[in-house]
Amino acid sequence: MKNTVRYRIRHETAYEYRNDVVHSHQLLHLVPRPTAYQQCLEHVINVAPAFYRKRNEIDNFGNLMTRVEFDHPHRKLEVATDMEVEVHPRPTVDTADSLPWERAAAELTYRGLDPSRDNLEAAKFRHESPYVRIKTLFNEYAADCFPSGRPVLAAAQALMSKLHTDFRYAPGETTVSTPLIEVLKSRRGVCQDFSHLMIACLRARGLAARYVSGYIRQIPATPDALVGWGASHAWVAVFAPPFGWMELDPTNDLFVGTDHVSVAWGRDFGDVSPLRGIILGGGSHRLSVGVKVEAIQ
């Protein structure tokens, strides 16, 4: 088991607009949320232009969120976040000790009884969401991962490995709006596509699965390099009683550990986008994003 790791992370986002933006509301998910396995020791968000109003909030999923409003004309928006995060090892579990997947799904179904608090929370992540539609095709694709009686965590691991084997990591060939049906047909995409598709397959079986955004350790040009470093990353959490939420990274075919820093989670990318908003004016724009993740101990 790896020891505790401390990271220094910088996330830069810049929008350059063709015309003046006369008014803008932006929603930021850029501060790592505290969990049992990580603490954000410090963070600073710098925004330009400097004339803005800011309000910190907690969203519906418990994520730390910042609202920023600009009411002065501008043609460039820059957001730079510096943070230091400590990530702790997670206990090793045996996938065979999780409930059979059929029972895990059944316990999330309303049966006229008061559900447990954990089951009630998990049930929010069983249904369709804007970027994750539930289709028979996804159920069929994952069928061999869900034989009768297989423990839910073992089934999720098998699905993760299947996606990692069948799909090619291909930056630039999809966008967040590319339908999952197209991703499934082309067998190409990036971390958000693989995560959305894995979530769709799990939810198609009646299981609870959520989308997790964050960062991964930066180890370039080595055999141990993880796919997807240098940008925001995404992975999946599945509700697997009795362990609760377990996180899996289909892009790299591994359980999440000290190489990952989570920022926010929700139903899909739309709930946890690092920066999204509504603008008046601006016309066309150019976007640039840079992420640096440095282990400092």
DSSP 8-50: EEEEEEEEEEEEEEEEEEEEE--SPPPBTTEEEEEEEEEEESS
Residues 249 and 291 in one domain: no
pLDDT of residue 1: 46
Decide if pLDDT at 223 tops 70: no
Residues 102 and 65 in one domain: no
Check residue 53 and give left, alpha or beta (phi > 0: left; psi -120 to 50: alpha). beta
Residues 6 or more apart whose CB falls under 8 angstroms from that of 21 comprise 70, 73, 74, 75, 77, 279, 280, 281, 282
Average pLDDT value for the chain: 93
Residues 207 and 189 in one domain: yes
Residues 248 and 168 in one domain: yes
Residue 262 within any structural domain of the chain: no
Residues 178 and 55 in one domain: no
Residues 151 and 224 in one domain: yes
Residue 261 within any structural domain of the chain: no
Report the range of poorest mean pLDDT among 2-6, 69-73, 222-226: 222-226
pLDDT of residue 117: 82
Residues 109 and 243 in one domain: yes
What average pLDDT does this structure show over 121-140? 95
Residue 267 within any structural domain of the chain: no
Residues 75 and 99 in one domain: no
- pLDDT band at 229; cut points 50, 70, 90: confident
Alpha-carbon span 195 to 256, nearest angstrom: 13
How far out from the chain centre does Cα 176 lie?
12
pLDDT tens per residue across span 11-34? 999 999 999 999 999 999 999 999
Residue 141 within any structural domain of the chain: yes
Residues 120 and 144 in one domain: yes
pLDDT of residue 116: 80
- pLDDT band at 64; cut points 50, 70, 90: very high
Residue 265 within any structural domain of the chain: no
Residue 71 within any structural domain of the chain: yes
Residues 80 and 117 in one domain: no
Domain coverage including residue 226:
95-256
Percent of the chain with pLDDT over 70: 95
Residues 12 and 29 in one domain: yes
Domain count, the chain: 2
Residue 278's H or E segment, with its range, is: strand 275-281
Task: Say what the pTM is.
Answer: 0.94
What average pLDDT does this structure show over 65-73? 93
What CATH number has the domain bearing residue 188? 3.10.620.30
Residues 250 and 283 in one domain: no
Sheet strands (E) in 128-205: 168-169, 188-189
pLDDT tens per residue across span 178-197? 999 999 999 999 999 999 99
Residue 263 within any structural domain of the chain: no
